[in-house]
Amino acid sequence: MTIAPATTANFLWFLPTHGDGRYLGSSVGGRDVDLSYLRQIAEASDRLGYYGVLLPTGRSCEDSWVIASALLPQTRDLRFLVAVRPGLLSPAVAARMTATLDRISDGRLLINVVTGGDPVENKGDGVFLSHDERYAVTKEFLEVYKALLAGGRVDFNGQHIQIEDGRLMFPPLQKPHPPLYFGGSSDAGIAVAAETIDKYLTWGEPPGEVAKKLEAAQKVANARGRSFSFGIRLHVIVRETNDEAWRAANDLLKHLDNQTLASAQKTFERMDSVGQKRMLALHGGSREKLEVSPNLWAGVGLVRGGAGTALVGDPETVAERIKEYMLVGIDTFIFSGYPHLEEAYRFAELVFPLLPLAHDRGHSRRHGPIGEAIANDFAPAERRRGQS
């Protein structure tokens, strides 16, 4: 089975509600990530033409629904990819929250379905379920949640969820519901994805491994008479030259001590997420040989859970690597970089002109001066990179 290549792509940025800084695993250069700073990132992402922003979820993060609600009035076109957590919320309450935020955002809501991969954190949230049980809950949750958002009256008697006369009085703006994003690398996760979601997400493994994973997921979906599109979550370190980019990557780790590294690895090892285990396998907790595929660097994953790889290089190189993922079917990219405000600008300004954007809002909305006037007499010519 072959997945059709993506001819255009959407690019999302990341709101670092769990903290931000110039270095990994250290408070050196750390920033106060308050609402004002998050607003700066959201406004920049909106102006630069990003399709949307991802808000993370978990006990290390500010609540994604509250932050999205606070930032909606500060943005115009930007979409907000916000998490629902089966097992933490009832599907009826989650459906009301979803419909409300979709309505007040004028249809700018995207939903990220997250099952949770850290048993210790899950127990702190009151969830005492095994890996496969969490996916069983997710399947039942999504069946009820989607039916409510589509306008149905729901009676449901599942193993984990029971609903009588469930109804949603105020429907979402997007029909039948906001797009559902979901990432799950295990067989149980893929089975849920195949039956329920719209966009299947993966973390940044080498393109060949990503291709195998997407094909396996699509095969399961096809067997159920369904299909979905694909997205990937990555970091990015882009500079004017490849040498500068690799220096910047190595600099991210300059204040990371061995004790912090060992503590992070110990935490990752307790997690039952198959995707997290795949991230861990890329570097094995070692600082050596972190380039796991051409221009794909696993250093972020030494201390950061979840997405742990970054594309590293000059603009042309990074654009070519992105296009390699598009060739295997990826049409949505969720990027981040440290610090997130500056890197949102850097990536958009250096790499967007080299990519086939599905929604090229940033350039079409330019109204101010582009570059400083030359000799106080004339404006520099705006041109795409590579043009003479």
Domain boundaries, the chain: 10-364
Nearest to 47 by CA among 339, 383, 367: 367
CB contact set of 310 (below 8 Å; sequence gap of 6+): 204, 234, 235, 236, 237, 249, 296, 297, 299, 300, 337
Q: Rounded distance, CA 156 to CA 272, Å? A: 29
Residues of the chain by 3-state class (helix, strand, coil), percent to 5: 40, 20, 40
pLDDT band, residue 388 (cuts 50/70/90):
very low
- Could you tell me which residues are beta bridge partners of residue 30? 21
Give me the pLDDT at residue 201, please. Answer: 96
CA–CA distances in Å: residue 22 to residues 17, 68, 248, 256, 339: 15, 24, 10, 12, 5
pLDDT at 231 over 90: yes
Q: How confident is the model at residue 1 (pLDDT cuts 50, 70, 90)?
A: low
- Reported as a pLDDT band with limits 50, 70 and 90, residue 30 is very high
**Which pLDDT score, from 0 to 100, does residue 386 have?**
45
Asked whether the predicted pLDDT for residue 190 surpasses 60, the reply is yes
Contacts of 25 (CB under 8 A, 6+ apart): 253, 255, 256, 257, 260, 261, 264, 302, 303
> Which CATH architecture is the domain 10-364 placed in?
Alpha-Beta Barrel (3.20)
Q: Would you place residue 374 in the very low, low, confident or very high pLDDT band (cuts 50, 70, 90)?
A: confident
* CA separation for the pair 230, 228 (Å, rounded): 7
Residue type at 357 in one-letter notation: L
What six digits make up the tokens of 294? Answer: 């051409």
Distance CA 144, CA 125 (A): 22
Q: What is the pLDDT of residues 39-96, one digit of tens each?
A: 999 999 999 999 999 999 989 999 999 999 999 999 999 999 999 999 999 999 999 9
Look at residue 286 in the predicted model and tell me its pLDDT.
86
Task: Please write the tens of the pLDDT for every residue from 193-222.
Answer: 999 999 999 999 999 999 999 999 999 999
Indicate the average pLDDT of the chain. 92
Per residue in 345-372, is it b (16+ CB within 10 Å) or e — as a string? ebbbebbbbbbebebebbeeeeeeeeee
Q: Which of 23-32, 62-71, 187-196: highest mean pLDDT?
A: 62-71
Question: Tell me, what's the pLDDT at 78?
Answer: 97
Q: In terms of C-beta density within 10 A (0-12 exposed, 13-18 middle, 19 or more buried), how is residue 266 classed?
A: exposed
3-state secondary structure of 91: helix
pLDDT the model gives residue 238: 98
Distance, in Å, from the CA atom of 193 to the CA atom of 276, rounded to the nearest integer, reads: 18
User: What does the alpha-carbon distance between residue 207 and residue 323 come to, in Å, rounded to a whole number?
Assistant: 10
Whole-number Å distance between alpha carbons of 234 and 232:
6
- Please return the burial class of 343, using the count of CB atoms within 10 Å of its CB with bins 0-12, 13-18 and 19+: buried
Residue predicted with more confidence, 275 or 165: 165
The model's pTM: 0.93
Tokens of 384: 């795409």
Selection from 197, 249, 207 nearest residue 228 by Cα:
197
pLDDT, tens digit (0-9, with 9 covering 90-100), for 327-336: 999 999 999 9
Count of H helices and E strands in the chain?
A: 13, 16
Structure tokens at 151: 């306008």
